[in-house]
Amino acid sequence: MAGEFRAPTSKNRLSKKFSNRIGSTTRACSKSSGFRVILAISILSLLMFSFSFVSMARASQTVVTTIPVGAGPFAVAYDSGMGEVFVANSENNTVSVISDVSNTVVATIPVGEYPNGLAYDSGMGEVFVTNEFSYSVSVISDVSNTVVATVNLGGFRPLAVAYEVFVANSAGPFAGDSVKVISDVSNTVVATIPVGTFPVAVAYDSGTGEIFVTNSQDDTVSVISDLSNTVVATIPVGTYPAGAAYDGVMREVFVTNQFSSSVSVISDASNTVVATVNVGSGPYGVGYDRGIEDVFVANSNNGTVSVISDVSNTVAAIVKVGAHPLAVAYDSGVREVFVTDLGSTVRVISDAAVSLAVSASPSILSITRGTSTNVTVTLTSMNHFSGIVSLTATIAPMTPKSPSLALSATSLTVSSGGTATSMLKISTAHSPQGDGAYVISVTATSSSVLHTITINLSVTKT
């Protein structure tokens, strides 16, 4: 299919009403006994920084493997216990199990009708599968690769799932949108929590013990405390928030905004949006890569994956994949990102292409008006990177009284295993109008690298 994604209309396919629900992103989290599955009830569904001052740029990342799976792969989850990747094939009611060693399908498991969400429960060694048109959740043992339990939802359509363990569901029009909490010990519903309109994705924040639920129809995110099972905050985001993923290093939640072609970055400390990142067309699935501390976003309408640096909150790379990438999962065992595509395939992206470390010293500084200082920018070769790297520096806000910037070298040659440096001279005005806080961005570019680091500057009277 070319152009914007349009969903088929038969019962076992996405109806036009469901055409904007594209998949699910899951992640595993450790917790004490009493792991839970949370079901979000909705009409539509999807499952889908303190600064670090040494950041990595990568060479052009590409798809390293394409794996055929079942029809309509709608969700993907990584099982760290078995080193396997589970894929929900919505069009033929199966789950494909991929070995991350051989990158081949090693098992195909029949489940309910229209599976479209997955989550791995590390406490139980089980995988939860949402079956939309069976109104149920299948529980798969990752030892036997068989269904060991089925949770009936009494007319609710489960649509997406995440672990600590969370699932998004549909109850039909005007049925009341909520989150259902399921015990993974008894496989029964233990709580129901009202949320916003049409919740479609969930992410568990292990730092605060909270659940982030995207409410697609009112452009908000509900934050649920897993201690009280109540909504503790409601956060405005972009248009039609779809996917969600938690970044444990920066303690932030990344939310894809389907119709805004952007990603909202939410601080879990303040429960506010701290950055908005423009990405490709129609972003759906999102996953956090702990190996390189980047966020991967599936842009379904233009066949790409945007790679966002969680340090600078900028797009650091764009990876071409299949026509309609949907869901994203990171496999920490082999340091690869698995992306489902409607063309009955899974694309595998290696994150081992990290090629250049960029650092600034100092990266936080305060200077007196009318003076100047130097910052050392260092480029370090990683994984045998070599080449000519261009440097640019900008400052924000930019006014006639803002500090001026000058790099001692704007073109550096980095040899394999070597380093190169440039001095950034920062000169401030004598005028008090130049006092205040600034952010300096230093960007390193070459034929295969694009990366930006930031420097925090404060200009004071004394």
pLDDT single digits (tens) 105-142: 999 999 999 998 889 998 899 999 989 899 899 999 99
**Region 339-352 average pLDDT:** 89
Predicted pLDDT at 17: 32
Tens digit of each residue's pLDDT (9 = 90 or more) over 350-363: 876 546 778 899 99
pLDDT the model gives residue 384: 63
Distance CA 279, CA 261 (A): 6
- pLDDT over 60 (residue 411): yes
Q: Which helix (H) or strand (E) holds 116?
A: strand 115-121
- pLDDT of 460 > 90? The answer is yes
Summary mean pLDDT of the chain: 83
Per-residue pLDDT of 244-273, as tens digits, reads: 999 999 999 999 999 999 999 999 999 999
Residue 71 CA to residue 54 CA, distance in Å, equals: 42
Looking up tokens 């939802």 gives 153
Higher pLDDT, 170 or 191: 191
What are the tokens at 301?
A: 């309408």
Beta bridge partners of 273: 266
Percentage of the chain exceeding pLDDT 70: 81
The whole-number average pLDDT for the span 312-321 is 85
Note the pLDDT tens digit of each residue in 177-233: 878 888 888 888 888 888 888 888 889 998 899 999 999 889 999 999 989 999 999
In this predicted structure, the answer to whether residue 61 has a pLDDT above a threshold of 70 is no
* Torsion-angle region of 384 (φ positive above 0: left; ψ -120 to 50: alpha; else: beta): left
Of 214, 280, 210, nearest to 242 by C-alpha is 214
Identify the band that residue 416 occupies on the pLDDT scale cut at 50, 70 and 90: confident
* CA dist., res. 74 & res. 117, Å (int): 7
278: pLDDT confidence band, cut at 50, 70 and 90? Answer: very high
